[in-house]
Amino acid sequence: MRIDVVTLFPELFDTFLATSFVGRGVTGGQLEVRRMSPRDHGLGRHKSVDDTPYGGGSGMVMRVDVLVTCFEALDAEAAAAGQPKAHRVLLTPQGRPFTQARAQALAARPAIMLVCGRYEGFDDRVRSFVDEEISLGDFVMTGGEVAAMAIIEATVRLLPGVLGNAESTREESHGDDGLLEYPQYTRPADFRGLGVPEVLSSGHHAVIAKWRHEQALMRTEARRPDLLVRREAGGSKRNLGDT
């Protein structure tokens, strides 16, 4: 998989791309990341990438011409190397919320482009040159770089061979069953009066699996009932006795 990142601060990704399983994905060949700054295609002596907004207002707005030139330069480099054009993703609080399902959909693509904004945002015409818009949630950050890192991490861990145990992505929160993950425990067996459920030491795998499923359902109902509504709409069972 290839990920292109359009950012005014490509250096912010240096440590991130060299760390943990993202770094293993890069060194192992499952992941290629290219970074390009819009300033590489900026205008004039100062490589300007922004300008004052039409109609007045505070702050500066990123220019559509500079950004689109950056997109097209990355696409041209990919084409020259015989690689596919990237699926363009604009990172903006106006986008649809990022979910595990979106991570899975992005991971299935051979190449994606993550476009990070700065200043007061993008010239709205940029939206005509991207394929989708994604938001991390209902809040605003100064730039899109942290959002890009979150999307990279959530996506890359789904690529075959990146994680040591592929099963770990199936039984975690927001996994294939749409539930929050069941409670997990490890040693010590007792910590300041807090113990470990006996069923987990029973050795009965079917009983443990049933307990975990029940716990996942109860935890989801208590903390994120909206997930159960979505799960029911998809035709899944939610009865506590279902396994």
| pLDDT digits 0-9 by tens, 110-132 | 999 999 999 889 999 999 999 99
> What are the tokens at 43?
């205008």
Task: Decide: helix, strand or coil at residue 132.
Answer: strand
Return the amino acid letter for 69. T
In this prediction, residues 100-104 reach a mean pLDDT of 96
Q: What per-residue confidence (pLDDT) applies to 242? A: 43
pLDDT tier, 41 (very low <50, low <70, confident <90, very high otherwise): very high
Domains 2-156 and 170-233 in one fold: no
pLDDT tier, 166 (very low <50, low <70, confident <90, very high otherwise): low
Contact 99, 110 (CB under 8 A): no
Between 10-14, 18-22, 32-36, 228-232, the lowest mean confidence (pLDDT) is in 228-232
Q: With 80 as the cut, is the pLDDT of residue 48 above it?
A: yes
For 3, the enclosing helix (H) or strand (E) is strand 2-6
Q: What per-residue confidence (pLDDT) applies to 230? A: 87
For 32, the enclosing helix (H) or strand (E) is strand 32-36
Q: What is the mean pLDDT of the chain?
A: 92
Homologous superfamily, domain 2-156 = SPOUT methyltransferase, trefoil knot domain (3.40.1280.10)
In this prediction, residues 127-142 reach a mean pLDDT of 96
CA gap 151, 24 in Å, rounded: 17
CA gap 17, 82 in Å, rounded: 24
170 vs 147 pLDDT, higher one: 147
Q: With 90 as the cut, is the pLDDT of residue 85 above it?
A: yes
From residue 227, alpha-carbon distances to 154, 233, 242 in Å are 19, 10, 17
Q: With 90 as the cut, is the pLDDT of residue 12 above it?
A: yes
In this prediction, residues 29-52 reach a mean pLDDT of 97
**Domain 170-233 maps to which CATH number in 1.10.1040.10, 2.60.120.10, 1.10.1270.20, 1.10.357.10?**
1.10.1270.20
pLDDT tier, 169 (very low <50, low <70, confident <90, very high otherwise): low
The total of other beta-carbon atoms located within 10 Å of residue 4's CB is 25
> What are the tokens at 242?
């279902």
pLDDT tier, 234 (very low <50, low <70, confident <90, very high otherwise): confident
Q: What per-residue confidence (pLDDT) applies to 233? A: 84
In this prediction, residues 136-151 reach a mean pLDDT of 96
pLDDT tier, 238 (very low <50, low <70, confident <90, very high otherwise): very low
The predicted model scores a pTM of 0.88
Sketch the domain layout of the chain as residue ranges.
2-156, 170-233
189-225 pLDDT per residue, tens: 999 999 999 999 999 999 999 999 999 999 999 999 9
178-199 pLDDT per residue, tens: 899 999 999 999 999 999 999 9
